Each structure stands twice: as C-alpha cells, then as structure tokens.
Chains A and B, each alone.
Chain A
Amino acid sequence: MTTRTSAPVEPPPETPERRLGELNPRELGRWLWRQLTSMRTALILLLLLALAAVPGSVIPQEGVDSLKTSRWQADHPTLTPIYEKLSLFSVYDSPWFSAIYILLMISLVGCIIPRTFVYLRAIRTPPPTAPRNLTRLPDHASYGSGESVDEVLQRAREVLQERGYRLRPAQDGDDFVSAERGYLREVGNLVFHLSVVVVLVGFALGSLFGFRGGAVIAEGSTFANTISQYDDFEPGSLFSADQMDPFVFSFDTFDVEWQRTNRGVLARAFNAGLTYTDQPGSDERSYDLRVNHPLTIGDTDVFLIGHGYAPVITVTDGEGNEVYSGPTPFLPQDQSFLSFGVVKSPDAQPGQIGLEGLFYPTFELVEGNPLTIYPDDLNPLLSMSVYTGDLGLDVPTSQSVYVLDKANATQVLNDEGQPLRLDLSIGETATLPDGLGTVTFESVQPWTRIQFSQTPGKELTLLGVVLALIGMCGSLFIRPRRVWVRARAGSDEDGSATMVEVAALDRSGGGDVAPVLEEIGDERRAAPPRAEEKQ
C-alpha cells in the first residue's frame, strides 16, 4: 500500500508493483485449485453434502412421491412458490445439490491424480535410511546381543523379509537395516476414491438413459410395452423411445393368500400370473410375478408393487347410451382394502356424470356404520356419491384419474334433498334422479400395480461400490510401517558383543506398533531385552 503514495509514477514494466495479496489470474487459478483440492475443503464439502441431503428427507420430493408432493403444495400455498424457487421439491436434482457434489468430485480428482504420481514415485524409492537416533522414535527397543554386527543385521534382514517387508538395498558401511511394508494401503485409498467416481458415472448413466414407469393393470388385460400404455412415465433426459423393449404380456391370473395375524389380515404371497413374449413372433413364456422377484425382459425389469380391486362399472346416460364401462381401479386406503375411486363420464347427456366413493371388499353394517370386515372380496359393495355439471375435463390439462374436479360440478341430491348415495352390490343397477341415467356394478376384478424400469449402468454402479469397499478395506486395514534395526559393536558393559536398537513407525497414525516391535524382538533377541517404550 505504501507504494501508492508515489501513485502517478509509472511502475517499471519488468516488475509491476502489486498490492499485498494481489494475484494475477494464473496465480488466482492456482490458488483456487489448491484450495479446492485441499483436504479441508473436501471435508467441508462432505459435510455440506450431508447437510444438503437433509431437506429432501423432510419435504416431499416430486421424484419420490409426486402425489404426496402435490397434496403438500396444496396445503401450503405460501411456502410452495418459495420452495419451488429453491428447488426444494427436487433437492437431489437441484443446482445447489449438484454444485456440491460436482465440486466434491473435482476436489477428489484433483486430489487423487497428484497422489497417484506421488505413489508411483514412492514405490520406486527404497525405504529411507535409518534416523540417527532410533531411541528418539516413540516406539523402540534396545538390547544387547552376543552375535556380531553382521550376523545381527543379516538375521534382521531375513526376519523382516519373511514378514513381507521391503528392504533398502544394503550398502557398504551400513550399520542398519531399513524396511518398509504396507504399500497397498495407498493403492486401496486411490482405488476407493476412483471407485466413487465410477459409482457416480454409473448413477448418472442410469438417471440419464433410464426410465421408470408404472401401470395399473386389471386381471385379464394385455399390456404392450409402449409409452402410451403407462399411467406414469419418468424418462431420463437422454432416454429415447426406441430403447423400449417390444414385449407384450397378458395378466392372466391373480392369486393372493389372506393370513389372519394379530396385526390384522395380511395379504401374503400374492402373485400375478403373466404370459409374455419378448418381442413379436417369439415364443410365449409364463412367469409368476411376485414382490421381490422381478421379471427381466430384455433391458427392462418388471416388478409387482401393489394390488387392489377394480369394480367393473357401467354408466348409461339419460339418452340410453353406454358412456362408461370397464374395470375401474380403486386405491386401497389401508390394509383393510377399503378402496377409494372415481368414475368420470364427460360424454354423458344431458349432463356429465361423475362418481366418487368407496369400495368395501366385505361389507358389513356394524351399529349403523358401513365397514369392511375382511380384505378379501367376500361381500363387495360400492358406495358412491354422484356429481353432475362441468367436471373440468374439457381443458387439456392433465387430471389425475383418482381426483374428481368438483369446482364447477354440483352434487346430485336425493328426494329428501340430502346428498345422494348409491349403495350397490354386484349386479345391481341404480337409476339416477333427473333423468341423468343409470349406474351398474357389474363385477370385481383384481388389479396389480406393475412397475417397469430400465437402469443402464447398474452393473457399473455395483462394480464401483464393490471396488470402493475393497479399496476402503485396504486403506483402513493395511498398515504402512517402517522398521529399522541398527547394530553397533557393543560397549560390552553387560557382556554382549553388539548393541541392537529396533524402532518402528506406523505411518497411518492409527496403529499400535508395539506388537511389531515385540515380534521382531522375539525373533531377534538372544538375551533378555532392556526395553523402554512408551505409547
């Protein structure tokens, strides 16, 4: 700063005057790189990564449970826009989360590449010469020996070599043996950190080129693997439609065992009997799809996720036209399989008809309350309320099939002016008031929710994690050690010809080298030692 006093004078061009701490771009870059690749930064980034992962476990995530997310958003109208700006509904794809792990990766690569070169140099270098004063090392022992200096050193070499130590080539006049082992620790370390990069690449491949999708399929229907058949489909950003495997399957049978337990009746061992062909023209095969037992067709994995009931409902409008007919999947609300569902028939005349209500697999009226007492469909009952008017289906926005838009619809009332409720058993038909039409409950079919996914790179990811584990074990359990043995012609005060000093150093900082010393001492010593160690 003091140079500034002579401000108008131009500084000599060869040595441009610089303020303290001022860096040219190259130096700045180097400084930044040093900072980024330092262990301290890596540590802070690691902790930041842990911290950044927290919100995603608290706030519902679009990629994890979109239904829950949209409900949460509806419940929190003030917070939602703020959260959306901060990408808090998709934390793990958000720019700030990505920034942390990308920086961490750069830091990691910037750390391991130079370390690899250091390591390559290190394995070509022989173990260093012995420090002048071995007794200054924290772990050491000294004792007298009856053997000559050469004999002692020769024995030390043999013992250490047997134990897998690498020896410094002996030179004339050396009064010591220098040995080192545990070179693989650093290899493990490097393998671990490289594997983390491999895992990340594998993970990225999966999320870029893969897809996840699901479909609710009623018993007896056929599914051809095209995107239009999916109820929900989440492709990776680089996914292309020609990756879809051209398989077709029919969902023939559904079996479920109901098991009475003290926690209620549980669905056990449910399986969907499928008949499938890999591609058009190939042989038909059959497979019992069960939870935990996915079917792999080509690159696509097919999973059974859940099941429920689909009442077959027919709606006839006021003009006598069948405007809705077919199995309608109802969503189970809990283990009792009380299920909720919606029917929309926008084409009905004179007015649109919307039905919303519950399905009771085994209906029973207990003290005036409608209940389901068993999850199997022993006495199925459909209980729906009716809406008419504008169901909001004209606008081309996508609408959940399980939500009835009642904003512009009115509830149909019965003769007493109460909301109308249709209670239908199988085969029954109800006539709607005001000439709206009729609703028939034809039968019940089971449905299964089947999930499909392609995860390219999953083998690579697995390989990466396994390598990381192996590398990690190497870096944690291999102990790099240096051992020195020095022998000098003895002072002969206690009758021994040679004074021997042994010292060991654990270079990882985690080890206790005293046992090493003992082992070597045990092998080495001829006379009882005079050891002086401290920890």
Chain B
Amino acid sequence: MSNTAWETLSDQAIAVSGIVYFLALLAHLVEWSALRGTVPVEVAAATASTRARSSEGSVAVATGPEDEAGAGTGTAESRQRVALFGRLGLLLTMIAAVVHLTSLVGRGMAADPNRVPWGNMYEFTISGTFVVTLMYLVLYRRFSLAWMAPIVVAFVLSMLMVAVIWLHSEVTPLTEALNSYWLVIHVVSAVIATGAFTLGGMTSAMWLLKNRKGDIATGPLARVPSLATLDRVSYRIHAFGFPVWTFAVLITGPIWAHEAWSSYWNWDPKEVWAFITWVVYAAYLHARSTAGWKGKNAAILALVGLATLWFNFIGINFFSTTSQHSYAESAPAIVQPVEASTPSLSAR
C-alpha cells in the first residue's frame, strides 16, 4: 500500500469509528432512557452482588449491564431492553475502538519513514481518545463501569469531532527534534496517564453529581454505584494514572529535554502546566486522606487536575507562542513565499 493509500485509510477509518461511536452512544441512550422510573438499585444490587460473592467467590464483581440492569425492578420487558441495548452499546464501542486503532496504524504507516502517530495535535488527540476508550473497555468489568458508558462514548466522539474538524493535518515526517525513541516512551506514558485521568475525572464528576442529588435517587442516577464505590474507583484510577504521569513528565520528559534542548527543565509552558497538573493530582491524593478535604473537595481537585491536563494538552499549543512543544503551529503549506516589501522590516 502506498503512503497516500494508508493516509486515506486512516482518514476513512476515523470517520467510520466516529459513526460507530455515535451508534454506540445511541444504543446507550436508548438503554438509559429505558431506565427512567427505575427504583433505586443500590440496595438490590448490593444484596445481589453479595449473594453472588459469597456463593461463588471472586465472581462477585458485578458483571456488566446484565447484572446491574437486571437488578432494577422495572418490567421484564424494559429490563430486557436495557440489557440488550447496554450490550449492543458495548459491542459497538469495541468495534469502534478497533477501527479507531486501524486509523492510528494507518497514520503511522502513511508517514515516510514509518513512525509512531504522535507527530502533531491531530494525532495526539486521536491517540489520547483511543486510550480513553481502551482503558474504559479494559476496566469495564473490573470496576463495573457500565454507568460510565454514555459519558465515555460521548466524550470520545466529541473529541474526535474536534480533532477531525479543527486539528486535522496531513501526514508529515517528524520534525528533527521529535525524531527520537524518547518520543515513543514519553508520549505513550503521557497519553496513558491522560486516558486514566480522564476516566478518573468522569468518576469524580459523577461523584459530585450524585453527592448533590443524594446517594439514593430514582431514575438513571440510581444505576450509578454508591458514593463510596465511586470514590474508590476514582481513587484507584487516579492512583494508576499518577505514577504514569510522573514517569512521563518528570522522568522521560526531562531526560529527553536534556538530550534535545540541553537542559532537563526549561520552564517551558508545557512543562509548567505538566508540573501544575502533577501538583494538583498530588494534592488530590493528599486531600483524600485529610479531614475536611476528603469527598467533595478531593473530587473538585480531581476535576481541576483534569482541566489543567486538557488545557495543557490542547490549549497551550494554541495560546502559548513560546512553547517549544507547540506542534500546532500552522507551518507553511509549501515553502511559503515570504513577502518582504522593503527590507526595513520594522514589524518582524
């Protein structure tokens, strides 16, 4: 396959994955609308899972939509619908993720020489969203993330739209400074941490919402796990993301910066914001064990951390002109004819 063919494949694959994500979102919306009027499942689910746990041992962890939805006390028909659409949404998300991955591979194969698909904003964004989906799918069973499905799918879909509409750029070779194996290590870890923090942020946001509405609510919120469970899931995901983030921005980043820019810490805006994110998440982890800060304030901190993270991921590249990390700059399309009227160049 030629490079152009790969690039076309990548572009088409991202469009297809967007459509499939959209279908998945529809499926989940149908699933959730069928839940309207469901009475709180918390108690029922708890007893159900305890029963399962004590009799079958480790299978106790709630197993996806069937289990949780089944615990609702709606009519049999609506229960069935919920389960069906929940499974359908999950299946569609999996298909979309595979197509999404195809697009990433196509991006890498389209470049000459072949490379990892992390050369510009567009590629970072589609990689970051892929990791969000992947982590959601991987953790789906372990943390019973069925409640998160519509949020994740909607988020990934909107980020993909942003990427395709505003950030899309053609495949280009890496600039010289990016041409290093540290790109693989540094960016992989940063993207994984970003994915984890995003999922953790969603959990914290749900915690805040549920905290506001009260632990027991009717309707869709009833399906969301208890505050304690949400808090624990959020902590676990953040606790995974934090060391990975540390590795990305405080170990591999500085090592690479030392090789490419002569100094391991330059106070470059990207570095500053990565550091801010690190500090905020460090504060989150401390806040969880501090009286007066656990719960609400900790959840807010997690969201602040997420905001700094995404601002850094996208915002800095557009707002900061000094960043050595700004890959978003619209480089001249060809070696662009630069006009120079008189060589006085007062406004250079």
Which residues from chain B contact A259 at a C-beta distance below 8 Å? 173
* Contact of B175 with A533 in the complex, beta carbons under 8 Å: no
* A120 CB–B CB distance under 8 Å: no
With A358-B343, A458-B264, A529-B54 known as contacts, the answer to whether A469 contacts B246 (CB < 8 A) is: yes
* Contact of A53 with B272 in the complex, beta carbons under 8 Å: yes
* Contact of B336 with A336 in the complex, beta carbons under 8 Å: yes
* B334 CB–A CB distance under 8 Å: yes
* B287 CB–A CB distance under 8 Å: yes
Report B290-321 CB contacts with A as 1/0, cut-off 8 Å.
Answer: 10110000000000000010000000100011
Number of interface residues of B (CB under 8 A): 81
Which residues from chain B contact A53 at a C-beta distance below 8 Å? 272, 275-276, 279
* A264 CB–B CB distance under 8 Å: yes
* Contact of A473 with B342 in the complex, beta carbons under 8 Å: no
Which of B228, B262, B273, B332 contacts A451, CB < 8 Å? B262
| Residues of B242-301 contacting chain A, CB below 8 A | 242-243, 246-247, 250-251, 254-255, 258-269, 272-273, 275-276, 279-280, 282-283, 285-290, 292-293
* Contact of A50 with B276 in the complex, beta carbons under 8 Å: yes
* Contact of B272 with A375 in the complex, beta carbons under 8 Å: no
Which residues from chain B contact A265 at a C-beta distance below 8 Å? 334-335
* B236 CB–A CB distance under 8 Å: yes
With A60-B322, A305-B262, A458-B258 known as contacts, the answer to whether A534 contacts B46 (CB < 8 A) is: yes
Q: Max chain B CB contacts within 10 Å: which of A64, A356, A452, A512?
A: A64
Which residues from chain A contact B169 at a C-beta distance below 8 Å? 263
A interface secondary structure, majority: mixed
Which residues from chain A contact B344 at a C-beta distance below 8 Å? 356, 385, 411, 419
* B139 CB–A CB distance under 8 Å: no
For the complex formed, measure the closest distance between the CB of B333 and the CB atoms of chain A, giving whole angstroms. Answer: 7
Which residues from chain B contact A64 at a C-beta distance below 8 Å? 266-268, 322
* Contact of A263 with B242 in the complex, beta carbons under 8 Å: no
* A462 CB–B CB distance under 8 Å: yes
For the complex formed, measure the closest distance between the CB of A58 and the CB atoms of chain B, giving whole angstroms. Answer: 8
* Contact of B283 with A43 in the complex, beta carbons under 8 Å: yes
- The segment from A239-247, A267-275, A428-436 found at the interface with B is A267-275
For the complex formed, measure the closest distance between the CB of B251 and the CB atoms of chain A, giving whole angstroms. Answer: 5
* Contact of B335 with A264 in the complex, beta carbons under 8 Å: yes
With A46-B286, A54-B276, A455-B263 known as contacts, the answer to whether A518 contacts B335 (CB < 8 A) is: no
* A170 CB–B CB distance under 8 Å: no
A147 to B255, CA, bound (A): 61
Which residues from chain B contact A375 at a C-beta distance below 8 Å? 335
* Contact of A385 with B286 in the complex, beta carbons under 8 Å: no
* B179 CB–A CB distance under 8 Å: yes
* A369 CB–B CB distance under 8 Å: yes
Which residues from chain A contact B286 at a C-beta distance below 8 Å? 39, 42-43, 46
For the complex formed, measure the closest distance between the CB of A465 and the CB atoms of chain B, giving whole angstroms. Answer: 5
* Contact of A476 with B272 in the complex, beta carbons under 8 Å: no
* B5 CB–A CB distance under 8 Å: no
Which of B57, B316, B321, B336 contacts A518, CB < 8 Å? B57
* Contact of B289 with A50 in the complex, beta carbons under 8 Å: no
* B235 CB–A CB distance under 8 Å: yes
Which residues from chain A contact B179 at a C-beta distance below 8 Å? 291-292
A383 to B343, CA, bound (A): 7
* Contact of B260 with A291 in the complex, beta carbons under 8 Å: yes
Instruction: Determine the residue in chain A with the shortest Cβ distance to B178.
Output: A292
Which of A57, A336, A476, A522 contacts B320, CB < 8 Å? A57
Which residues from chain B contact A338 at a C-beta distance below 8 Å? 338, 340
A514 to B258, CA, bound (A): 47
* B211 CB–A CB distance under 8 Å: no
Which residues from chain B contact A472 at a C-beta distance below 8 Å? 242-243, 246
Number of interface residues of A (CB under 8 A): 93
* B1 CB–A CB distance under 8 Å: no
* Contact of B264 with A461 in the complex, beta carbons under 8 Å: yes
Q: Max chain A CB contacts within 10 Å: which of B171, B286, B342?
A: B342
Which of A264, A453, A509, A518 contacts B263, CB < 8 Å? A453
For the complex formed, measure the closest distance between the CB of A413 and the CB atoms of chain B, giving whole angstroms. Answer: 12
For the complex formed, measure the closest distance between the CB of B169 and the CB atoms of chain A, giving whole angstroms. Answer: 8
For the complex formed, measure the closest distance between the CB of B276 and the CB atoms of chain A, giving whole angstroms. Answer: 5
Which residues from chain B contact A518 at a C-beta distance below 8 Å? 53-54, 57-58, 60
Which residues from chain B contact A57 at a C-beta distance below 8 Å? 269, 272-273, 316, 320
A418 to B43, CA, bound (A): 88
Report A494-535 CB contacts with B as 1/0, cut-off 8 Å.
Answer: 000000000000000111101100100010000001010111
- 19 CB < 8 A contacts A-B: A46-B279, A47-B279, A54-B272, A56-B272, A291-B176, A336-B332, A336-B336, A340-B345, A369-B339, A384-B343, A411-B344, A419-B342, A461-B254, A465-B251, A469-B251, A472-B242, A477-B239, A511-B232, A534-B50
Shortest 6 CB-CB distances between A and B: which pairs? A357-B343, A371-B337, A57-B269, A531-B54, A451-B262, A303-B262
Q: Give me the interface of A with B, judged by CB distance under 8 Å.
A: 39-40, 42-43, 46-47, 49-50, 53-54, 56-58, 60-61, 63-65, 68, 92, 141, 203, 206, 212, 259, 261-270, 291-294, 301, 303, 305, 333-336, 338, 340, 356-358, 366, 369-375, 383-385, 411, 419, 421, 451-453, 455, 458, 461-462, 465-466, 468-469, 472-473, 476-477, 509-512, 514-515, 518, 522, 529, 531, 533-535
Q: A43-B287, A46-B283, A512-B232 are in contact. List 20 more A-B contacts (CB 8 A).
A: A47-B283, A49-B279, A57-B272, A68-B322, A212-B263, A259-B173, A267-B176, A292-B260, A335-B335, A340-B348, A358-B345, A369-B337, A370-B340, A455-B263, A465-B254, A468-B246, A469-B246, A510-B232, A518-B53, A533-B54
